[in-house]
Amino acid sequence: MKLANYVSGQWKEGTGAGEPLFDPVTGEELARISSQGIDVGAALDYARSQGGTALRDQTYGARAELLGKIAEVMTTNREEYFRISLLNLGTTQADGAFDIDGAIYTMKYYAKIGKALGASKILKEGGTVSISKTGEFAGQHFLAPTKGAAIFINAFNFPAWGFCEKSAPSLLSGVPVVVKPASPTAWLAQRIVEDIVKAGILPAGAISIVCGSARDLLDHVCESDIVSFTGSADTAMRIRGHENVLRRSVRVNVEADSINSAILGPDISPGTEVFDLLVKEVVREMTLKAGQKCTAIRRVLVPRQHFKAVGEAICARLSSLKVGNPRNAEVKVGPVVNKAQQSSCLEGLRKLKEECEVLFGGDEKFQPLEADAQKSAFVQPTLLACKNGLEAKYVHDVEVFGPAATLVAYDSLENLIAIARRGLGSLVASVFSNDPGFLKSVILGIGDLHGRILVVDSSVASQYTGHGNVVPSCLHGGPGRAGGGEELAGLRALLLYHRRFVVQGPSNTLAEIAGLSADTSVLYS
């Protein structure tokens, strides 16, 4: 089976043998993909001229209704998505739900909140600014949807959610999308696009998908386009430094590597509720989707006096989890996505072992349940320990994108903040403490280098959303090493797909234009 590309309003198979997609449990080849022979330049032109024009002819409210219809189609095909996810990603039921149900919820969320923008086609920002003595000549800022295309170069770990969390605000803005899913797991994203196309929900050109190599895609982007990338910092650097991207000042949004932290406050003792919540959260982040989450906990920062107790508690939970073939309902931890990712994880663990002690796992030859270790792509959940946080290098610089985390001891508030900041910019940090003073100091100490800070105390023990859960109403992104990008955050996400400009002229003309606009205050409500 070769998965077709959908470009210029047509399904087209790429030429050549193509690139194989595998089942990470059995090693069986599932399908092939190829973008060879696909005219990506023409695909972008078609998306801009046909898809973009048709979308912008509609109001925000009408486009919000389109998102609702997409969510309905995805809900109808939900079980098929789970089947593909199991085959191509080796996901457990919980893993699949995290991706697929998260995708559907995000699409529904934007369908709902997009209605607030109503029958307008442009956004008004702030009030008029008088720039004359009489006030008859004034200025008014506006935001208009860009007349380009949104090019999404997505990561392998969330083929459904990664597609929806970018596509929903783009389509709501009136900007057509061209999706280039990560090759190893392209099947699920391709199937979702196929279902949307079959349903006839979107105008021609509003959605396209290129399966396989991006090839010369960036050679054809222009000043009105947006390139949104999720993946490694090395690839992000190549995208940002591409000659055409630089020459035409193409807007680039990046979510890259992130060495995220979970922090235990010194006021929390073993055996308490908040202590147990941290332990539970660390284990969940290590094992859900086999640790293949950009938001997963990589460093667990704990007071030195509780270092041993935290390690023992995490190890006890890990030892009770079965790792193996997710077709077995008792299995809680599946494989990483393929043999290449397995090799990358094992290489990273070898580096961490140079400066860390292994508390649990780390066996490169362990036997997963009901799977052939030679053909499959499993990595044993591994907890390491680092007693000298500031002296360590790999702990803060090497992200093992799999079921691994490192316990790091700290000795004071200042020491803790310095260790957390050694991550050089992260998507998320979670802080477990009942001490308001400690929480305030940590937030002020690390907030500028983190896109999100999750605070957990006894009052929210049964309510908080989780360290790794990205909710569409809140910001997803992070500075520095994490890429410097921003996604989601409710209607704020639309800002990426709009261009700000000011109109200076007669105040009555400005008032007429403003009357056709939705106020951007809705974006921040």
How far is residue 233 from each of residues 39, 115, 165, 294, measured CA to CA in Å? Answer: 28, 36, 20, 12
Clarify whether 211 is annotated catalytic: no
Q: Cβ(258)–Cβ(297) under 8 Å? A: no
Q: Cβ(177)–Cβ(208) under 8 Å? A: yes
Element at 6 (helix H, strand E):
strand 5-7
Element at 410 (helix H, strand E):
strand 404-410
Element at 66 (helix H, strand E):
helix 60-76
Give the burial class of 393: count Cβ atoms within 10 A of its Cβ; 0-12 exposed, 13-18 middle, 19 or more buried.
exposed
Clarify whether 194 is annotated catalytic: no
One-letter amino acid at 341 equals Q
Which of 19, 125, 165, 255 is catalytic? The answer is 255
Nearest to 372 by CA among 19, 30, 28: 28
How far is residue 84 from each of residues 72, 73, 427, measured CA to CA in Å? Answer: 19, 16, 28
Place of tokens 């799999």: 402
Q: Which residues, in sequence order, are bridge partners of residue 324?
A: 369
Which of 164, 165, 285, 294 is catalytic? The answer is 294
Q: Cβ(426)–Cβ(319) under 8 Å? A: no
Element at 383 (helix H, strand E):
strand 382-386
Residue 365's CB is within 10 A of a number of other CB atoms, namely 6
What positions carry a catalytic annotation? 255, 294
